[in-house]
Amino acid sequence: MPKDVIVACDFPSAAETLAFLDRFGEEKPFVKIGMELFYAEGPQIVRTLKERGHRIFLDLKLHDIPNTVKKAMRVLSSLDVDIVNLHAAGTRAMMTAALEGLTRPDGTRPLLIAVTQLTSTDQTAMEEELLIEKPLEEVVMAYARNAAAAGLDGVVCSPLEAGRVHESCGESFLTVTPGVRFADAGKDDQKRITTPAGARALGSDYIVVGRPITRAEDPVAAWKRCREEFLA
């Protein structure tokens, strides 16, 4: 799939999500559905957005024993989403099982990407709570390589890590990156941020953008600006 901007639809209900997307008229942004919306509305919200012509990244971050994840992925695969994800911390065995579950009888499947370390986990928490005594960036890269070895299509990472991930796992290994802000805007709670143009320069394949679009006075204009800067 070509590079694109993915709009994080972090809304609590289908009604709010559809009202937001109605503003785009005939334009059909690539959207991300996360846990909040999926748990509130169930698979029907995915079907509705698919019927409306959106491409969908279903961000449910699965993490369980391989057999459970395999069966869950089989269900998600039938929803015909474009990208799904899981935690690389579930091990290569879990990632391999996930791919098996995701692959349809005709051999097609959604793209599968892995979360490495959450950006909310810092070096201290990793060392003191998870007992992982390595530099965070080394851990992120090791998890990315595990995901590539298991046959996954890419990772969710910071745009600042996209270059190293490509170097280590190959140019075609996807980097899907949140933490994007316009140059003239605030950061919200994001810390390590880049602009859409910066993410392009750093080699991100997809940028995930929430509040700069969802909370903009004119979301359609903000989405268009984001695409112009990222895809230029």
153 binds ligand C5P (CB under 6 A): no
Partnered with residue 8 across adjacent β-strands are 32
Contact with ligand C5P (CB under 6 A): which of 91, 96, 103, 119?
119
**Do residues 206 and 178 lie in contact, with contact meaning Cβ atoms separated by under 8 Å?**
no
Look up tokens 């060392």; give the residue: 127
205 binds ligand C5P (CB under 6 A): no
Contact with ligand C5P (CB under 6 A): which of 188, 192, 201, 228?
188
Angle at CA of residue 150, ends 139 and 129, nearest 5°? 30
Least Cβ distance, residue 100 to ligand C5P (angstroms): 25
210 binds ligand C5P (CB under 6 A): yes
CB nearer ligand C5P, residue 28 or residue 191: 191
Contact with ligand C5P (CB under 6 A): which of 46, 156, 174, 226?
156
29 binds ligand C5P (CB under 6 A): no
Return the closest-CA partner of residue 5 out of 216, 171, 220: 220
Question: How many residues belong to the site for ligand C5P (CB under 6 A)?
Answer: 15
The stretch among 90-98, 102-110, 134-142, 206-214 that binds ligand C5P (CB under 6 A) is: 206-214
Q: Is 61 a catalytic residue?
A: yes
Residue 33 phi, psi (nearest 5): -105, 125
Active-site choice (3, 28, 32, 61): 61
Q: How far is CA 113 from CA 36, 46, 47, 144, in A?
A: 20, 18, 21, 10
The residue count for the chain: 232
62 binds ligand C5P (CB under 6 A): no
DSSP string of 39-104, one letter each residue? HHHTHHHHHHHHHTT--EEEEEEE-S-HHHHHHHHHHHHTTT-SEEEEEGGGHHHHHHHHHHHH--
Residue nearest to ligand C5P (CB): 210
Least Cβ distance, residue 78 to ligand C5P (angstroms): 24
178 binds ligand C5P (CB under 6 A): yes
- Judged by the rule CB under 6 A, the positions of this chain that interact with ligand C5P are 8, 10, 34, 118-119, 156, 178-179, 188, 190, 208-212
